[in-house]
Amino acid sequence: MLEVSVKKELEGFSLDVQFISEAKSVALFAPSGSGKSLTLQAIAGLLKPDEGRIKVVDRVFFDSSKRFFLPPQKRRVGYLFQDYALFPHMTVWENVSYGCRDEKRVEEVLKMLEIQDIRNRFPREISGGQKQRVALARALAFEPKVLLLDEPFSALHKSLKLELYKRLREVVGEFSIPMVLVTHDFDEVFELTDYVVIMEKGEVKQTGVPVEVFFNPIDGKVAKLLGHQSFLSGKVVFVMDGYVEVRLGDRRKQILRAKNFPEDLKEGENVFVSILPFAVALNPLEDSVKISAVVKDIFREKDKSVVILDLGGDVVLHLPFSLSPNYIIEKGREADFYLSPSCISVFRRCYEKES
């Protein structure tokens, strides 16, 4: 269990973060400058909050109401930095065993991360991916109570990231260590964590299970941050258990059906509709919704066609090449598409849409 309540006034920035999660792995997700790393530092004890409370599993790290602050060296936190922070004059073995007297434990993490064969090399003699594994091994060697990761994969290419994701999942599962990940890549949130905290300007905007948050963003800003691209204005015309129908503001006043919407949404409310790029139904199923629109543009990528439709606003759809025989489309011509309501999200217009 992770309980974080942190308030801190800094020069030109206010941090006010509060969340509680029972998940084993938590992501702090936000653009740069939102306070993610500051929150991580507060958990580690590198930043002392002005007020609040921090508790990891059954251990309190900080409680301002009791004037209690556990020093960083007593928190047993494994901290993995973006730049690895390896000692250049030490070998891999010396880096991993730094601060850990249990040689058996060091051997165990070296073997788990498959870096035992480079134990006598120096950081300058190994690759970026190997450095990352050495840094992770060092963080794990002294049996931390919590593992803190500050954007550790941002400098690595995709194939190496995927390999390290797998290693990290195995290690965290093997040693049963709670983990907090700072990232601005939602793919990492999906791959590595069970709970996400979305932050903006030092505050928490939304929390929850990653897939639920992705399909149910609280507003346009969060939706855009999560990768949603296509936003349309509309009005709710029907609400039923499991789905909602929205009349769009396009010239045809077409109706879209969506399965992702606020539970307390009511008929007559003005909303924004987000159609995800992968919303095209593989088959025109009974619950799919048909739309007609003029194709503004179309271009090919490696594994798909990208189609831009005019629905009173631009809508970007990804059309796999496997569906091409079912969709004869030309730029400037009108075409019909079947969309899956599961890939359409609705949220209130009381939040301004970002330009």
In which band, very low, low, confident or very high, does the pLDDT at 323 lie, cut at 50, 70 and 90? low
Mean pLDDT of 44-61: 96
**Nearest alpha-carbon partner for 52 in 183, 204, 207, 193:** 204
The neighbouring-strand residues paired with 243 are: 240
**Phi-psi sector, 145: left (phi>0), alpha (psi -120 to 50), beta:** alpha
- Look at residue 250 and give its three-state secondary structure: coil
Quote the DSSP letter at residue 280: B
Tell me which of 3.10.20.440, 3.40.50.300, 3.30.300.130, 3.30.2350.10 is the CATH number of domain 2-215. 3.40.50.300
* Residue 351 scores a pLDDT above 60: no
pLDDT in tens, 74-108: 999 999 887 788 999 999 999 999 878 889 999 99
Contact 170, 137 (CB under 8 A): no
pLDDT in tens, 178-206: 999 999 899 999 999 999 999 999 999 99
How many helices (H) and strands (E) the chain has is answered by 8, 20
**Phi-psi sector, 208: left (phi>0), alpha (psi -120 to 50), beta:** left
Tokens of 177: 């260590």
In which band, very low, low, confident or very high, does the pLDDT at 354 lie, cut at 50, 70 and 90? very low
Distance (Å, rounded) from C-alpha 21 to C-alpha 256?
Answer: 35
- Look at residue 170 and give its three-state secondary structure: helix
Strands (E), the chain: 2-10, 13-21, 25-29, 51-56, 59-63, 68-69, 77-80, 146-150, 179-183, 195-200, 203-208, 231-240, 243-248, 255-258, 270-275, 289-300, 304-310, 314-320, 334-339, 344-348
Distance (Å, rounded) from C-alpha 106 to C-alpha 104?
Answer: 5
pLDDT in tens, 249-267: 877 889 999 999 999 999 9
- Extents of the domains making up the chain: 2-215, 222-348
Whole-number pLDDT of residue 172: 81
- Look at residue 199 and give its three-state secondary structure: strand
Q: Which residue has the higher pLDDT, 313 or 197?
A: 197
Q: Which strand (E) or helix (H) includes residue 192?
A: helix 186-192
